[in-house]
Structure 1
Amino acid sequence: MSTVTVKRSDLKSGEVLCSYCTARCCRYFALPIETPTTWEDYDHMRWYIMHGHCAIFVDEDVWFLMVYGDCKYILPDYRCGNYEDRPQICRTYTTDDCEYDNDGTYDRLFETPEQIWEYAHAVLPPKKKKRKGKSKIKAEKLQLPVVHV
């Protein structure tokens, strides 16, 4: 693994871009999630982020949950230690649009629950306040069911 930063356009014939990378593509995964539209949706996203080692980003109007974590097969030289038996997603991944020289910017990036909540407050109508007073649900209906053995 070279420590020299090489531009894509400067690669020599037969060179592989991965030889100059620190396996950025193998240090997280991202799954598309539904676009949030309600306070509950944003609250769920806050919950995701509260579990650490994750973020939420938006790229081209698609929302993603990004989970940070190195693939267990990354070798010290950043090559794949499971190359012959790697998953199909790894086999079809190319360096054509990889993150090697990507600046890591997204349309939106949320790394803390506070950022999600602040954004929700900016884009959603104000939350309705809960009414104070007695609940119409009787207390006996709130008890847990009893299991008979």
Structure 2
Amino acid sequence: MSDAIHRQGSLHSSDDRRLAAIQYVLLGSMRRAAEASGIPVRTLYDWQKTDWWETLVAQVRTEMEGELDATLSKMIQLALAATMDRLENGDYVVTTKGETVRKPISARDAMAILALAIDRRQVLRDAMATAPQQRLGNLADRLRELGEHRRDATVPA
């Protein structure tokens, strides 16, 4: 934790401040963050005016985005594995005797899965193809701006 957010004589520890920042990011409101953290709302508004608060909130957001991305990636992997299992081995069904067996999925369900997969793959390919071109275009624009700025600065008056 940054020394900038730890002050001697403060009623609140660095952990308290971090908890308040987490609550603020999760709840989106100083009042609700104050209720959740037990720190007076006036104190949170005072902290909001400091440089360290903005830094701490940005750090918390970055950490949460990373955790969310990892969770969503795991969900995608599990869903893909379950879909592949159903395509290869069929759906689970219970017979009239109470036994669980695998029944091949219908052609309609297989086609729906296929169509969706093809569409998503094409969207991904299109996005991957245009991203480098956009970055190069942005870089070219920025270099042009820098060149014009430098030219303007070196022209004698």
TM range (shorter): under 0.3
Whose RCO is larger (CA < 8 A, sep 6+)?
Answer: 1
TM-score (norm 1): 0.26
TM-score (norm 2): 0.25
> Counting helix residues as a fraction of each chain, which structure ranks higher?
2
> Counting strand residues as a fraction of each chain, which structure ranks higher?
1
